Homo-oligomer: A and B are copies of this chain.
């Protein structure tokens, strides 16, 4: 099976597998400027917290290439400006800011413009490669938690497409599948953007993992009927106390899993941890355009005059989370201590 590569750096462009077109069409957006990347992030052609982090890092690399200057100070100021625009393309996932900050940090170390170009590209490439490695590692750790022949419920897409490759929640599922080939998956379709139906089902079917799709509101009923062994999801930002922002609907699944004594796991690399905020209350929740909810293919489905609330994420309080699976270890409650340990380790 060919590995899914959502982002490919060519040296002068970032090739972005267009996630708004999948699975019907495998189109590529070629981003040549930082604003091309920002637009692709805002338009969700690339989405998923780790993936937009990597894209953001390469946006800085594109910015370096775009400027023909030998003035290192001017270059640094310009990149800091661009960094702010890139980091604010979407507010909830912390990985975007984390990756941009990491790249901007090496900008400060450069002794010449040529040096700066080399350092920025190397750092962005490192972020990309480290993300794949982190996912493989957390996948292996998380696979230990999964029952060998159970049914795993996952929400949205936390797969290769949402990362630099391999995936977080789907990385865990994939690693478990590779051990015994007996796992089954229930994937929620994930309205309004249908990441589950379009992306997760596509990734899992390419791996040959038996997958059933459900509408989002059916997942709770399957949990109550005893059909789900555990829930595994990704994350967009995890606060110091373990509160986790993830795709809208995650909170609801966690509450229902908790009510039915079904383990609920969050799988995320440590780049998704935001130790600067104490609890999930401080995580900004993006409200996306009404059009995403109102339009069905090329038709508007709702009557005129109806309003829309379209929060793209919600926050799951740590008390509903059985474990947080990172590349540096599986963290169990109490999360304050455990997360601190993996961040320092």
Contacts and interface: CB of A to CB of B under 8 A. Distances in A.
A254 to B, nearest CB: 9
B252 A205 contact: no
A226 interface: no
A304 interface: yes
A236 to B, nearest CB: 14
Contacts of A61: none
Contact of A186 (B191, B204, B216, B309): B309
Given A191-B215, A218-B309, A297 B294 contact: no
B248 A221 contact: yes
A73 interface: no
A301 B216 CA distance: 15
Interface string A213-230: 111111111101000000
Interface in A55-88: none
Contacts of A215: 191-192, 216, 248-249, 293, 310
A307 interface: yes
Interface string A256-274: 1001000000000000000
A343 interface: no
Interface residues of A, number: 57
Contact of A306 (B213, B248, B293): B213
B218 A248 contact: yes
B293 A219 contact: no
Interface stretch (A36-44, A195-203, A328-336): A195-203
Most buried by B among A222, A255, A304: A255
A282 interface: no
A306 B214 contact: no
A189 interface: yes
Contacts of A306: 187, 201, 204-205, 211-213
Interface string A91-131: 00000000000000000000000000000000000000000
Nearest to A306: B201
A308 interface: yes
Nearest to A202: B303
15 contacts: A23-B302, A192-B215, A215-B248, A215-B310, A216-B216, A218-B310, A218-B311, A220-B249, A220-B255, A221-B248, A221-B249, A259-B259, A296-B296, A296-B297, A297-B298
Interface of A: 23-24, 155, 186-192, 194, 197-198, 201-202, 204-206, 210-222, 224, 248-249, 251-252, 255-256, 259, 293-294, 296-299, 301-311, 314
Given A197-B293, A222-B309, A296-B297, 9 more contacts: A187-B306, A189-B191, A190-B217, A205-B304, A210-B307, A219-B252, A220-B255, A221-B248, A224-B251
